Amino acid sequence: MNEINKCTEMENKCFLIKKDMDEAYMNKVELETCLERLIHKINFYRQLCEEEIHELQSQISDKSVSCPWTTTALWTSMASSLRSSPSTRTPTNCSRLRLRPLSDQAVIIDAEQHGQLAIKDAWSKVAELEAALRNANQHMNLQLREY
C-alpha cells in the first residue's frame, strides 16, 4: 500500500512538473511572438526615419539659391536709373538694395537650421528606438534566464 501511495504521489509531482513546463513553454512562445512584433515595429519605425532623413537630405541638397538678378543686370538697371534723374536716387532705394542679400542669407541660414534640426530630431528618434530594442532584448533575456 505504501508503494502505491508513493507511486501516486510521484505521478502527481510529475504531472505538476509537466504542467509547469507547459505553462513556461506557452509563456516563452508568447514572449517570442511579442518580441517579433516589437522587432517588426522597430524596423518599421527605423525605415520610416531613414526615409524621412533621406527626404530631408534630398530637400537640403535640392535647395539652390537663385538670384533673380544677375550682377550685370543689377548694375545696368542701377546705371540707367542714375542716368534718368537724380531725384530717383533715394536712401530707401540704396538701403533696399543693400538689404536684399542680407534677407537672402537669412532665408538660407533659416533653411539650413531647419534642416539640421529635422536631422537631429530624426537621429534622436532612431536612438530612442534602438534603446527600446535594447530594453526589450534585456527583458527577454531576463525572462529566459528566469525560465
**CB 126, CB 46: distance < 8 Å:** yes
Total count of domains within the chain: 1
C-alpha cell at 76: 545696368
pLDDT number for residue 8: 92
pLDDT band at 56 (very low <50, low <70, confident <90, very high): confident
Range of the domain at 59: 2-146
Among 37-41, 50-54, 65-69, 93-97, name the one with the lowest average pLDDT: 65-69
Q: Is the pLDDT of residue 2 over 80?
A: yes
pLDDT number for residue 82: 67
Share above pLDDT 90 across residues of the chain, in percent, rounded to a whole number: 22
75 or 110, greater pLDDT: 110
